Amino acid sequence: MCGLLGLLTSDGSAATAVDLVSEASHCMRHRGPDEPGTWHDDDLVLGFNRLSIIDIEHSHQPLRWGPPEAPDRYALVFNGEIYNYLEIREELRRDYDAVFATEGDGEAIVAAFHHWGPDAVRRLRGMFAFAVWDTETRSIFLARDPFGIKPLFLATGPGGTAFGSEKKSLLELIGRLGLGDELDPRAIEHYTVLQYVPEPETLHSAIRRLESGCHATIRPGNAPQIQRYFTPRFGVRPVTDATRQKRYDEIAEVLSDSVAKHMRADVTVGSFLSGGIDSTAIAALAIRHNPDLITFTTGFERQGYSEVDVAAESAEAIGARHIVKVVGPGEFIDAIPKIVWYLDDPVADPALVPLYFVAAEARKHVKVVLSGEGADELFGGYTIYKEPLSLSAFDRLPTALRRLAGRLSDRIPEGTRGKSLLHRGSLTLEERYYGNARSFDDARLRAVLRDYRPEWTHTDVTAPIYAMSEGLDPVARMQHVDLFTWLRGDILVKADKMTMANSLELRVPFLDPEVFRVAETLPYDEKIAHGTTKYALRQALEQIVPAHVLHRKKLGFPVPIRHWLAGTEMFDWAHETIEHSQTDHILNKDAIVSMLNEHRDGVVDNSRRLWTLLMFMVWHGIFVERSIVPDITDHHYPVRL
């Protein structure tokens, strides 16, 4: 885990931008407090902040490598980890007589690119965002991992192209590129609906993201040439009674292998642990490789909003040392400006706040943690994936009758039982499902956005994704949508940003190409069956996960904002945030105050909608108004833990 930054100039003036890049890199010092570094030639400046995990004494970046005849041909900056780097290095030695000066995974990337070209990214098993500069061809190659675990932002203008791990660093460079800092109104509308900014957008028009599973080639003075190298494709490999147990064994075996490779580090590796099956499975497999494994969880004092007891029971069952962080509403509120600053763009998922605190606690003890992100998307874990079953009767109705059901639902009062079922049943899958987050419908959106554009809809984001999933069963299509939306827009953003805010590396063994190859072929009834979700995964983990967790309902890190926003804990803070926000030209603040009062009075639960708007207001105060200045200090951690 590290922070990278680069500026490829269009006029050969890189030497004049070294100090600028170095200063901009400091904005993400938290991503790599162990060692900063810069390198430049006439066209390119590279900046780097290293969090030393593998080959601590060497593998410095920016890293130079080349074949014997041109030993300094390439320069690399790399964020992430390649878990099969030992195997790649051995293959390159055997087949090409490749020579390495370090024991790290960075040289494996560059050597693989030298010998295999852009196809090298298909051979990498890991999480990554990297840039390789070829001093001979004068071109730079950027790549991002298949699922989007590691971020990479891009900005291209008359002055060249900047790229980096965090958007805030690029905001320091866009003036040099000849770009402005205008906001993107369509991205704002998408955020308000989805609760996150979908790739490749950001809230700043000048800055975009290289999408997951893509790579780009850039030459000075030219725009990036972007190609997709990985598209997840769910299919079905039939399961019979004779092969069923073999499939479960296959899942357990490939997940065990993934965890083993994710444990590779020259520092201590711990594990996050909630009360669910995903993180428990990862921790139970990890302790096989580290008997002194430490697990970490977080919760709240309010009853029903904590999995602390279940997680502690799980830790005891697998034999792990367990550490708990309990978060109160006061420290929760105090941390919000810092958290939003670290996020770059707002993500309206309250679970990222306890994640920030548990990451801070974990960093006192370890430098790397494992976690269970990705299991739901790969193995069918979200309850909403059962929806095609509950709505199957509507699928048999003529279109006219389905639309009639929709019109009937419009006449039913809000909160009446059956209203949502009628409404959703009247819609096709493509119309109704756009991921796990649904914050605002059209009527509410029109009420709060000053510049509401009905033509800017969620289908801007989902239509091309659905086109890729044509022919799959409904659950597989929903999984496919979530891989491109919710997973990389919310789940992985908060995982990366909240752990990196604390200079902690987070690894996600479920999001491994080999694990996906097993998960992608599961039929519908191995995901949603027998009244549960992730059926095949649960069967595969029977001998790994403690019994009290195996069939437990998913909860995660629940946050009591519904209660806090209505009570003394957060109501005043929310009201003051709305009152002082200078977003009147974007949001109808009177309508938002009314929403807050309705929520306090128990008229309707507006908590998620309010949270979405409040996070945007805090973000606007930090990055646009500059009226909110978070207290961001440089943390100093030991290189080894």
Binding site, annotated residues for ATP: 371-372
Q: Are 372 and 554 in contact (CB under 8 A)?
A: no
Closest C-alpha to 2, from 70, 53, 50: 50
Enter the tokens of residue 251. Answer: 């899942």
User: Would strands 214-218 and 139-144 be described as parallel, antiparallel, or unpaired?
Assistant: antiparallel
> Residue positions in the annotated binding site for L-glutamine?
105
Instruction: Give the C-alpha separation, 578 to 589, whole Å.
Output: 7
CA dihedral 450, 451, 457, 461 (to 10 degrees): -110
Helices of type H across 6-82: 18-25
Closest C-alpha to 521, from 251, 242, 213: 251
Q: Are 506 and 495 in contact (CB under 8 A)?
A: yes
Instruction: Give the C-alpha separation, 574 to 615, whole Å.
Output: 10
User: Is the bond leading into 200 cis (omega within 30 degrees of zero)?
Assistant: yes
Helix (H, G, I), strand (E, B) or coil at 438: coil
* Residue 463 neighbours by CB under 8 Å, 6+ apart: 430
Burial class (CB in 10 A: 0-12, 13-18, 19+), 464: exposed
Q: Are 386 and 528 in contact (CB under 8 A)?
A: yes
Helix (H, G, I), strand (E, B) or coil at 7: strand
| H or E element at residue 594 | helix 589-600
Closest C-alpha to 574, from 603, 615, 627, 605: 615
Helices of type H across 231-275: 244-262
DSSP code of 164?
A: E
> Residue positions in the annotated binding site?
105, 371-372
Task: Judge whether 214 counts as a catalytic residue.
Answer: no
Instruction: Give the C-alpha separation, 129 to 212, whole Å.
Output: 9
Instruction: Give the C-alpha separation, 177 to 7, whole Å.
Output: 9
Q: Of 2, 318, 358, 492, which one is the catalytic site residue?
A: 2
> 514: how many CB neighbours lie within 10 A of its CB?
16
How big is the CA angle at 485 (ends 484 and 491), to the nearest 5 degrees? 105
- CA 472 vs CA 56, 176, 477, 483: distances in Å: 46, 46, 6, 15
* Active centre residues (catalytic): 2
